[in-house]
Structure 1
């Protein structure tokens, strides 16, 4: 090897003797995964201790239950946002993201006064603070780098275009703790929102969606162990992947040989069966899909991106049989409702909560269709503001199941924790 070649190699990436790899005792690829408790996609809301300060007689009712954790990375939360707003978020660590269910250009067009309503909502929670912080609470709408306010929506992608969150500022410490702990507030069918931190350390555990023609029957419930074994066998035998992992984990001080580090890096991998769904890029094409998940190898974005690229490259060399290889597919990028990368919209757990104030899957899809039909000129008249849904029942927990925003007095349903 000449000097120019040597300079291009990363420290610690020297060739690993083949006999070292061959003699290494690789574990059973289907051993139980490690660190699953750290997988954010399996977490729930209210997972920490109950905050000491809770709402006191809030004026707007909202549904009380434990929800799946909302997992949206910092880059996705701030994507397409004006640089001034991004800078403001970076400089004020007390700001929180308020992400509506179904957030995107269409939602903000339907709810132009949402920031005013949300400011009042958070103030009216009456969470006790050490000082009078309620008057400081202000919720700001996102400012998009590209103004789409006058845009009609020709397709679903345009409806859910970023930026997604509103920005909650001026909240006291106790309100911030309660809001992020409770997480999701379902007020009505078109007013469900989740409060999350702008967390630059949060990383998705989703690695790739793997697809196959459903007619072959390769991907069905129960296929997970077979798929995971094929993937791990290929990862463990790949020289480039081994060198990359050896360098990445070595830089973090992880002890062991290159092979040891590869085992450590792949111990958290899991395969989840997602079902059969429509290919978003190819009309009328169905794809059976499983999803590969695992702990990110590094908090450094560039290293994490390289990790994903290596695994996706190797997945494409895996085979169901001698005639059909694995395929990395993009049948969906994220759930349009809760923005999770871990499931498509049709299986979103939020849209399947029974008897809550938010929408069912059927009503969510109907709203989506109305928006698209209206944009195409199929509806001559849009629904009047304040008349976007059913009235709901009078009184009790169902008093606010319509689409409008409703404020109630002391007799309405409120959050109450014993």
Structure 2
């Protein structure tokens, strides 16, 4: 069946589109007005078609640095220096050890903190202090010095410098039963001249109470790169003693220095725990020159200037905040700076040069805030590259000279002022006092290597770069 043909008359009449509120269809409205209606509410527009009220930015909370309260009950000193804020005070901490007097100024936290400090942030400076006299004789056959001894804190490079990488990895696995032995006057020459030293130290360790029948073994230093022959005090320093019982190890680490006599020879060594990834030395920088003096008032003013400068340093603020905030210490950047800078101290290190002239050094020390060597080196580099302005147009700049003792490897005194040979009942070697001995600089394998002559191909490559 065919469908009927549709004609023009039979088509329905187009109806007008129905819009709400009988408004004209949008296609009849100009585009500018139509787009404006989609964005703005006509009620919120002024006569010019602009917003009557602008959206204000969100108000930011004002930063208020926290500072711990000032306790006046602590009492001010007669000659007190206030550094940076009223919460850091500078006191005179001069100490005397036998015939050696060390002038030292220390910064101390004045008041309390918003959070309790962990034990690691309350420990004193390990470079200073005395180890009490050993009351009980723990050696059975070989006596040793039992008098009160100065404390020593070796830096990590002293213990592990130029040590073979394979030996370092083995030490990490056996650090619970191993101790590093650093002889008195250790270095390249000492290792050559004392081939029987491992056997002598082994006999001494086995004579101590607590060794019993343990199989203690002492291995000589194993170097990563061959030290120069003429460098008498070049690294590595440490002998490795292993298979040590826990009780004997605790005694060695606590007593630190041992001086004894065997085979008609006087020996002494420092027992050092195998260091980890955290830095152990508190020494930051050394200052030398004409501005260094032994006047306590000038040292106090210098330490105050150093703290004031570091307190305003943005890098110091950022690093102290990052390091201490990770430990949950402090409630603000201001407080964390106060906690970090309140451990600084400035000590006078007397020394002489090869001409016999007095060339004293100011040594700046403070607690490391980082637990890894990379960040700690950047911390030291920042402080060492800073010039500290003093009064009367003077200034302090860190020196690159190596300050330390070639005998006990301490950083807090020079070789001619080593306190150990001056101890009562000292059974170790006694070098001539007053003789100038320059510490060996850190040896690098490529220091004296002759550079290869540039070839034509090398020059051609540089021209095309």
TM-score > 0.5 by shorter chain: yes
Q: TM-score, normalised by structure 1?
A: 0.69
**Measured at CA, do residues 328 and 256 of structure 1 come closer, stay the same or move farther in structure 2, by a change above 3 Å?**
same
**Measured at CA, do residues 360 and 76 of structure 1 come closer, stay the same or move farther in structure 2, by a change above 3 Å?**
closer
The Cα of 1:326 is off from its aligned counterpart by 0.7
Q: Match of 1:236? A: 311
For the 8 Å contact 2:145–2:259, the answer to whether it is kept is: yes
Equivalent residue in structure 2 for 1:335, among 405, 416, 420 = 405
C-alpha separation in 2, matches of 1:119 and 1:361: 24
The Cα of 1:79 is off from its aligned counterpart by 1.2
**Measured at CA, do residues 126 and 255 of structure 1 come closer, stay the same or move farther in structure 2, by a change above 3 Å?**
closer
Which fold has the larger relative contact order, with Cα–Cα distance below 8 Å and residues 6 or more apart in sequence? 1
Higher helix share: 1
For the 8 Å contact 2:351–2:414, the answer to whether it is kept is: no
94-103 or 185-194: bigger deviation: 185-194
For the 8 Å contact 2:128–2:152, the answer to whether it is kept is: no
Q: Match of 1:221? A: 295
Q: TM-score, normalised by structure 2?
A: 0.63
Does 2:210 correspond to 1:147? Answer: no
Q: Deviations over 1:246-291 (max 9, x none)?
A: 233223322322222211110111111113543x8xx888643211
Structure 2 gaps, min length 5:
1-61, 70-83, 92-107, 110-120, 439-465
C-alpha separation in 1, matches of 2:172 and 2:211: 27
For the 8 Å contact 1:73–1:204, the answer to whether it is kept is: yes
Does 2:143 correspond to 1:61? Answer: yes
Q: Match of 2:340? A: 265
Does 2:236 correspond to 1:166? Answer: no
For the 8 Å contact 2:268–2:428, the answer to whether it is kept is: yes
Q: Match of 1:203? A: 280
C-alpha separation in 1, matches of 2:347 and 2:257: 25
C-alpha separation in 2, matches of 1:36 and 1:274: 25
C-alpha separation in 2, matches of 1:68 and 1:292: 19
RMSD across aligned C-alpha pairs, in angstroms?
Answer: 3.4
**Measured at CA, do residues 357 and 86 of structure 1 come closer, stay the same or move farther in structure 2, by a change above 3 Å?**
same
Aligned positions, number: 330
Rg larger for: 2
Q: Match of 1:108? A: 191
**Measured at CA, do residues 50 and 254 of structure 1 come closer, stay the same or move farther in structure 2, by a change above 3 Å?**
farther
Does 2:161 correspond to 1:84? Answer: no
| Secondary structure of 1:297's aligned partner | coil
Q: Match of 1:318? A: 389
**Measured at CA, do residues 31 and 61 of structure 1 come closer, stay the same or move farther in structure 2, by a change above 3 Å?**
closer
| Secondary structure of 1:245's aligned partner | helix
For the 8 Å contact 1:74–1:198, the answer to whether it is kept is: no
**Measured at CA, do residues 37 and 44 of structure 1 come closer, stay the same or move farther in structure 2, by a change above 3 Å?**
farther
For the 8 Å contact 2:286–2:362, the answer to whether it is kept is: yes
| Secondary structure of 1:209's aligned partner | strand
C-alpha separation in 2, matches of 1:205 and 1:212: 22
Q: Match of 2:421? A: 351
**Measured at CA, do residues 244 and 179 of structure 1 come closer, stay the same or move farther in structure 2, by a change above 3 Å?**
closer
**Measured at CA, do residues 261 and 204 of structure 1 come closer, stay the same or move farther in structure 2, by a change above 3 Å?**
same
Q: Match of 1:413? A: none
Equivalent residue in structure 1 for 2:130, among 44, 47, 50 = 44
**Measured at CA, do residues 28 and 185 of structure 1 come closer, stay the same or move farther in structure 2, by a change above 3 Å?**
same
The Cα of 1:20 is off from its aligned counterpart by 6.8
The Cα of 1:361 is off from its aligned counterpart by 4.5
The Cα of 1:31 is off from its aligned counterpart by 3.9
Q: Counterparts in 2 of 1:243-322, with a 5 A limit? A: 243-275=318-350, 277-278=352-353, 287-314=359-386, 316-322=387-393
Equivalent residue in structure 1 for 2:180, among 83, 89, 97 = 97
| Secondary structure of 1:192's aligned partner | strand
Q: Match of 1:30? A: 89
C-alpha separation in 2, matches of 1:361 and 1:163: 21
The Cα of 1:332 is off from its aligned counterpart by 2.6
Does 2:249 correspond to 1:176? Answer: yes
| Secondary structure of 1:84's aligned partner | helix
**Measured at CA, do residues 91 and 19 of structure 1 come closer, stay the same or move farther in structure 2, by a change above 3 Å?**
closer
The Cα of 1:309 is off from its aligned counterpart by 2.1
The Cα of 1:220 is off from its aligned counterpart by 1.9
C-alpha separation in 2, matches of 1:95 and 1:292: 32
Q: Match of 2:267? A: 191
The Cα of 1:45 is off from its aligned counterpart by 3.3
| Secondary structure of 1:191's aligned partner | strand
24-33 or 293-302: bigger deviation: 24-33
C-alpha separation in 2, matches of 1:173 and 1:18: 52
Q: Match of 1:121? A: 204
